[in-house]
A = this chain, B = another copy of it.
């Protein structure tokens, strides 16, 4: 059984980078499965996702120690990930179930890259039953107001104990504190139920109806200290007409929200996303 390694790399752009990095693997006779790159010519930065096959004789430690030398020499920032290492995903919810269902279903069908939903946390007890259907532990951590320190400590403790790699805010409807967010940089994905930057903040479907837009959308992004301002991973929209009342927009929006969120989570768990300031590079597989 072969294992694969995926390197996500960023560095200052300059001549010769592709040749040097791919040369590293070629010299060691490693098979390159896919190699995606992107040069941000405006900011002179270079990004690469390279997936290679690990031959039987090579350990992860050996590969990493050798690559570390190249990285030092070329001043690469990077992370490395291995196929077959399951990533634990926690889903935080409130009372709305459609995104949670979609994530649990995809997890069950092995369609979340290398991830599995292994924990559900609600600030209300309503969705316990949904988590139970899929035999995933559910914890109810109620809170009085957004950023409640005690509740967040409780949540973080759960994330620790379940060795969570990625936190997904699946219509959690509460703002996390900066302290919480800074503990999980680029490891919290939120769904906003509008096509950002349109309709930031609360009640977007009502406001979309009032503004009379002809399409509604949803946006999945990494959570940052600034609400609704984090790097966008995925967006989608659907056409509506004058006939759609706010309630129908809300219903139509569910389909958009859940597919946008699941796609974003999948891209993250497949190690296809690199952030670049407020922007993301999302490589195809």
Binding site for B on A (CB under 8 A): 15-16, 18-20, 22-23, 25-26, 29-35, 37-39, 41-42, 97-98, 101-102, 105, 108-109, 111, 133-134, 195-199, 209-215, 217, 231-237, 239, 241-243, 245, 248, 251, 254-255, 259, 276, 278-282, 284-285
Q: Are B213 and A284 in contact (CB under 8 A)?
A: no
The 3 closest A-B CB pairs, nearest first, are A212-B279, A19-B26, A198-B198
Closest CB in chain B relative to A36 CB, distance in Å: 9
Closest CB in chain B relative to A139 CB, distance in Å: 20
> Which residues of the other chain, B, contact A18 by a CB distance below 8 angstroms?
18, 22, 26, 32, 35
The one of B111, B217, B231, B254 in contact with A212, judged by C-beta atoms closer than 8 angstroms, is B231
- Counting every copy of the chain, the complex holds 4
Nearest CB in chain B to that of A20: its residue:
B26
Known: A18-B18, A109-B97, A198-B195. A211 touches B278 (CB 8 A): yes
Q: Are A242 and B279 in contact (CB under 8 A)?
A: yes
**Which of A15, A20, A41 has the most chain B CB within a 10 Å cutoff?**
A15
Q: Are B237 and A215 in contact (CB under 8 A)?
A: yes
Known: A237-B237, A282-B242. A29 touches B15 (CB 8 A): yes
A231 to B39, CA, bound (A): 30
Q: Are A101 and B111 in contact (CB under 8 A)?
A: no
Q: Are A242 and B19 in contact (CB under 8 A)?
A: no
Nearest CB in chain B to that of A239: its residue:
B239
Known: A35-B37, A280-B242, A284-B243. A197 touches B196 (CB 8 A): no
Closest CB in chain B relative to A31 CB, distance in Å: 6
A57 to B56, CA, bound (A): 47
A255 to B236, CA, bound (A): 14
**Which of A20, A101, A278 has the most chain B CB within a 10 Å cutoff?**
A101
Closest CB in chain B relative to A19 CB, distance in Å: 4
Nearest CB in chain B to that of A50: its residue:
B18
Known: A31-B15, A32-B18, A259-B259. A242 touches B212 (CB 8 A): no
A30 to B72, CA, bound (A): 24
Q: Are B19 and A25 in contact (CB under 8 A)?
A: yes
Q: Are B251 and A235 in contact (CB under 8 A)?
A: no
Q: Are B199 and A213 in contact (CB under 8 A)?
A: no
A259 to B16, CA, bound (A): 38
Closest CB in chain B relative to A262 CB, distance in Å: 8
A101 to B105, CA, bound (A): 7
Q: Are B26 and A34 in contact (CB under 8 A)?
A: no
